[in-house]
Chain A
Amino acid sequence: MKETNIDFSQPQRQSLLGVFIMFADSLQEMARALFPIIVVSLLSEKKKFLFYAITAAVVLIGTLVVGYFRYRNFTFIIEGNNEFVVHKGIFKKTRIGIPLHKIQQVNINQNFLQRLLNMYEVEIDTAGSSKTEISIKAITAQYAQALKERLLQDGGKVKNADTDIISQKEVPFITVSFASLLKTGITSNYVRSFGILLAFFISTFQHLDEYLTYVNAKDSFINQYFNTQFLLRFVAFIIFMILVFTLIINLSRTILRFYNFKVLKQQNSLLLSHGLINTRNTIIRPDKVQMVTVGRNYFQKKFDVNDVKIRQASDLEQTKDRAKMSTEIPGVNQTEKNALLEFLLEKMPERGFAVKPNFRKMIFEVFKYILIPVGLLFAYTKLVPDVADVLYVIPFYIVFVAVLIYFAFRNSRLFITPDFIIRQRGAWDIDNDILAPHKIQGIKLQQFFWQKMSNVGTIKIYTAGGDVHFGLANFTQLKKLTNYWLYQVETTKKNWM
């Protein structure tokens, strides 16, 4: 496996099977672009089979040709022993060059199609510019391995010669069992899935409504089927369905994404691999880690599963990339979590001195999440009296949000030791963001003019892996902490990356 002597100083192409992957890629893009047209033509009354067959054939052949040329024109080479260059494009030729020493990490991944064809994808991440990220879609395992070694060898950063794609022999540092995944799946992401499902049901109802109005059947339909009892049962049924669906969706999402989650320790980095259909490999280097978030909710606490999110240094402006740079390790138990933290942060973080938020935090949030929305809704129903029924929701909303605000306040803490800053937050899912003071990039203190009298304010700590906000809290204390952290950053010998 190791004695690959491919000469990367000559232009290289992907495997011939890459044509199919390029084809599938182009087809996907095409389908996405033409989606509205496809939908419209399928819905149109006149169905001419021949017309569709011909169009489909033309599109398929066209895409195949495009795929072939994309394959032909995609070459990569190591130029002058210090720059990795990719040439690509059919009409618009692009040359992407990355100096070898700028390469941060090389990931080898496999999606479903690639797995069928026994091909691998090589992804090259650079420090700084996310725009020039390169991905080579179809090469064989040995080839991918050789390329990776070659790319990382000059930088002298990670000499992970034994970063094999799938090294079964090694004993994993952490293996997330299927049971843990099940536990995580049924206990996480309630809010998000619930929101998505609610949106889905509402839009379905709207369509139904439109349809019924369209066929003039609305009145008779309503008279026939809608009475109070039916409505109540119907609503109960819908809520039940939403809950069931939430569970199923969460569970399948978790299993799809995280199936067979393995963490390997290699010299001074972690290698994660996971996925049921698409296998993803990620390398994590402790010195690049800016922040680690440990999250769990009440159920997860009972089940002893934690969700660990690792945020690495990412490119500046783009928040989208920042989200991508956060790597999640689901379903780890207390001991595994501690081992992870100790490895990533060099030391087990302790909670230390606790800063509590001021009770005015709740007042502020009541304004923001209760008074203003409810006021707006009232104003709206005054303008459009038809929808006044909506107002029945208000008491439920107020109670629900008030409970959330209260628990969020109770959980909100900032823990400080000389080595770590831990921000705890959340109402249901309680997250602990852990960062070391030398990762701080800048600090911002914010105080609204009405907060001056009560001497409260907010602090924002900026790191290359995201921001940490805390407040409202005693402003004098926050200033003191700011001075302390500045002192720590300014005297530290440690680099943030």
Chain B
Amino acid sequence: MEEPFINDTIDTTVLPKFEDVQLTPLHPSYIKVIWFNIALVFGIIAITAGFGFYYINDLQPYRIAISAGYIFIVLLTITINVINFKTRGFAFREHDVIYRSGAISINTTIIPYNRVQHVAVHEGPISRWLDLATVEVFTAGGVGGDIKIPGLEKIHATAIKQLVVGKIDNKQTKEEEDIYTSATKEDILPSEEESNNEGNQY
């Protein structure tokens, strides 16, 4: 009960704090993907409802109520998604990756590189059109513990994948520090340079 934690209290004050890390927001054009998804889902619902109103007479008295409910849900969805978009952010530290998301609840997930199983990059149809991609980081900890970062520039996404894969493969090598610095710079620099950097590294 007494002595074990005393070490920790000294340690924890010196330890790097994940909460102080400046997170990189998602690419601004990812909001378009969100808009498109919302429009698609609610468009389909609206069309179905329209047909329903037209052909089913029994629905007549409920029209206003249904429409009001619909508008409420649309607004709620939009608010949640916009807040969520603003919350989302990521950071690749020297030893782990941090990802924050959520609107009603803010979730911050952290995965150390030495626990990563594999990394995947994929693009949806809209994302591809906008030249965006999603990076997924998997661990053996199950679905809930995985990280999925959408809305990254495609070049950036592949660079990140390379970075993490590199971290998994040669954890011990000294070079990783250089990779790290170049990678963290990428977050700020325009994409052209990043790709060149990464290209040279691998």
Interface residues of A in 469-483 (CB under 8 A from B): 479-483
A446–B15 CB distance below 8 A: no
A462 contact from B102, B105, B144, Cβ within 8 A: B144
Residue interface mask B182-194, A partner, CB < 8 A = 1: 0000000000000
Which residues of B have CB within 8 Å of A481? Answer: 12
B29 within 8 A of A: no
Taken together as a complex, chains A and B put the C-alpha atoms of A347 and B115 apart, in Å, by 23
Taken together as a complex, chains A and B put the C-alpha atoms of A322 and B143 apart, in Å, by 12
Taken together as a complex, chains A and B put the C-alpha atoms of A446 and B19 apart, in Å, by 13
Nearest A residue to B17, CB-CB: A483
B110 within 8 A of A: yes
Report the minimum CB–CB distance from A459 to chain B (whole Å): 10
How many A-B pairs with Cβ below 8 Å? 120
Decide yes or no: A467 and B145 within 8 Å by CB, A445-B107, A446-B106, A490-B114 being known contacts. yes
B110–A482 CB distance below 8 A: yes
A159 within 8 A of B: no
The stretch of B65-73, B125-133, B134-142 that contacts the partner chain: B134-142
Residue tally, chain A, CB below 8 Å to B: 41
A443 within 8 A of B: yes
B109–A350 CB distance below 8 A: no
A11 within 8 A of B: no
A483–B12 CB distance below 8 A: yes
Report the minimum CB–CB distance from B104 to chain A (whole Å): 6
B16 within 8 A of A: yes
A441 within 8 A of B: yes
B123 within 8 A of A: no
B144–A464 CB distance below 8 A: no
Which residues of B have CB within 8 Å of A480? Answer: 12
Taken together as a complex, chains A and B put the C-alpha atoms of A320 and B83 apart, in Å, by 35
B105–A446 CB distance below 8 A: yes
B11 within 8 A of A: yes
Taken together as a complex, chains A and B put the C-alpha atoms of A448 and B87 apart, in Å, by 13
B5–A441 CB distance below 8 A: no
Report the minimum CB–CB distance from B115 to chain A (whole Å): 5
Which residues of A have CB within 8 Å of B95? Answer: 486, 490
B142–A467 CB distance below 8 A: yes
Interface residues of A in 281-328 (CB under 8 A from B): 313, 316-317, 319, 322
Which residues of A have CB within 8 Å of B117? Answer: 316
B35 within 8 A of A: no
Residue interface mask A319-360, B partner, CB < 8 A = 1: 100100000000000000000000000000011111000000
Taken together as a complex, chains A and B put the C-alpha atoms of A66 and B129 apart, in Å, by 54
B25 within 8 A of A: no
Residue interface mask B1-14, A partner, CB < 8 A = 1: 10011011001100
A313–B105 CB distance below 8 A: no
A410 within 8 A of B: no
B1 contact from A351, A418, A489, Cβ within 8 A: A351
B4–A417 CB distance below 8 A: yes
A442–B110 CB distance below 8 A: yes
A313–B140 CB distance below 8 A: yes
Decide yes or no: A487 and B15 within 8 Å by CB, A353-B8, A418-B4 being known contacts. yes
Taken together as a complex, chains A and B put the C-alpha atoms of A353 and B1 apart, in Å, by 6
B105 contact from A448, A482, A489, Cβ within 8 A: A448
A449 within 8 A of B: yes
A316–B5 CB distance below 8 A: no
B7–A443 CB distance below 8 A: no
Report the minimum CB–CB distance from A451 to chain B (whole Å): 8
A486 contact from B7, B112, B142, Cβ within 8 A: B112
Report the minimum CB–CB distance from A55 to chain B (whole Å): 46
Chain B interface extent, by class: 35 or more
Taken together as a complex, chains A and B put the C-alpha atoms of A270 and B60 apart, in Å, by 70
Nearest A residue to B106, CB-CB: A447
B108 within 8 A of A: yes
A496–B115 CB distance below 8 A: yes
B36 within 8 A of A: no
Interface residues of A in 421-462 (CB under 8 A from B): 440-449, 460, 462
Which residues of A have CB within 8 Å of B146? Answer: 442
A181 within 8 A of B: no
Nearest A residue to B115, CB-CB: A441
Nearest B residue to A466, CB-CB: B142
Decide yes or no: A316 and B140 within 8 Å by CB, A441-B145, A479-B18 being known contacts. yes
B139–A442 CB distance below 8 A: yes
Report the minimum CB–CB distance from A368 to chain B (whole Å): 14
B145–A482 CB distance below 8 A: no
Which residues of A have CB within 8 Å of B19? Answer: 479
Nearest A residue to B147, CB-CB: A442
Nearest A residue to B108, CB-CB: A445
A463 within 8 A of B: yes
B11–A487 CB distance below 8 A: yes
Q: Which of B4, B140, B144, B146 has the most CB of A within 10 A?
A: B140
A484 within 8 A of B: yes
Taken together as a complex, chains A and B put the C-alpha atoms of A447 and B104 apart, in Å, by 9
Which residues of B have CB within 8 Å of A354? Answer: 1
Q: Which of A319, A350, A354, A490 has the most CB of B within 10 A?
A: A490
Which residues of A have CB within 8 Å of B143? Answer: 316-317
B15–A483 CB distance below 8 A: yes
Decide yes or no: A447 and B110 within 8 Å by CB, A416-B5, A480-B12 being known contacts. no
Report the minimum CB–CB distance from B20 to chain A (whole Å): 10
A442 contact from B1, B106, B115, Cβ within 8 A: B115
Interface residues of A in 483-497 (CB under 8 A from B): 483-484, 486-487, 489-490, 496-497
Nearest B residue to A313, CB-CB: B140
B96–A467 CB distance below 8 A: no
B105–A442 CB distance below 8 A: no
Report the minimum CB–CB distance from B137 to chain A (whole Å): 9
A-B contact pairs, 15 of them (CB 8 A): A351-B1, A442-B110, A443-B110, A444-B109, A445-B108, A446-B102, A447-B105, A463-B141, A479-B18, A484-B11, A484-B15, A487-B16, A489-B115, A490-B112, A490-B114
Chain B contact residues, CB within 8 Å of chain A? 1, 4-5, 7-8, 11-12, 15-19, 95-96, 102, 104-115, 117, 138-147
Known A446-B107, A483-B18; 13 more pairs at CB < 8 Å:
A317-B143, A319-B142, A417-B5, A441-B139, A442-B141, A443-B110, A467-B142, A479-B19, A484-B12, A486-B18, A486-B112, A487-B11, A490-B95
